[in-house]
Amino acid sequence: MHALSHIQAITLDLDDTLWPVAPTIAGAEQDLLRWLLTNAPKTAELTQQSEVKQAIRQRVVAKHTTKAHDLGFLRCEVIRETMRQAGDDPQLADKAYEVFNAARQRVTLYDGVAEALARLAAKYRLVAISNGTADVFVTPAAPYFDAAFKAHEAGVAKPDPKIYQLATSHLAINPNQILHVGDDAHADAWGAREAGLHAVWINPQGHPWTHDSPQPWTVRHLTEVADQLQA
């Protein structure tokens, strides 16, 4: 069906592929707010004004265009700039970001994902490729992964082929022997194929495929990938 008998390894996106990212970020922002209320109360007040927060973020992103791939750096700088604007000590930003980032690692896998990963890991090497700041090795998905490549460490973000090439080099096999699985149509499905990998698009909402290229193998859940590869 998909000519995948020669696949030797699988690369996987993390956020919104293995777990929902929105509740994790919301929880991390609550932890950060609690910390700010104690340690930088003026900043806490300012961060609750969404228009101000948005304006600061836009300014920081515009100032650090070469860091677009490093979401953690940008978030820390947003906190720092908010502290400056609020009149708190901007040197507290690094500690504040640590609080956020620790909470950002608390993820809850989608139902059935752990079982699917276990089935895949029994047959293939699994490698994470993520634009986000999650560390797969401190999540419940840790036991199944061989390695992880993160945009902020690689210096580029998906769909840049360089981050896929790092994973390919690590695996020491040809790109066409690797299957990439992810939820982002552009960064994951299109990007992986541009880098020479096979792609599976996790698309639970049934979004239309908008690229000119043929639609890749599309599933609603990782279980379908495990089912197909074990068939």
Summarised one tens digit per residue, pLDDT across range 42-59 is 999 999 898 989 999 999
Question: Percent of the chain at pLDDT above 70?
Answer: 99
Q: Give residue 140's pLDDT.
A: 97
Quickly state the pLDDT bin for 154 (edges 50, 70, 90): very high
pLDDT for residue 37: 97
Write out pLDDT tens, residues 55-91: 999 999 999 999 999 899 999 999 999 999 999 999 9
Considering the entire predicted model, what is its pTM? 0.92
| d(C-alpha 133, C-alpha 176), whole Å | 27
Q: Given a cut of 80, is residue 104 above it in pLDDT? A: yes
Dump pLDDT digits (tens) for 113-147.
999 999 999 999 999 999 999 999 999 999 999 99
CB 113 within 8 A of CB 222: yes
Residue 4 confidence class, pLDDT cut points 50, 70, 90: confident
Residue 5 has pLDDT above 50, yes or no: yes
| Contact present, 18 and 120 (Cβ < 8 Å) | no
Q: Answer for the pair 62, 83: CB distance below 8 angstroms, yes or no.
A: no
The domains found in the chain, sorted by start residue, are: 9-19+108-230 (3.40.50.1000), 22-104 (1.20.120.1600)
pLDDT of residue 3: 65
Question: Does 6 score more than 60 pLDDT?
Answer: yes
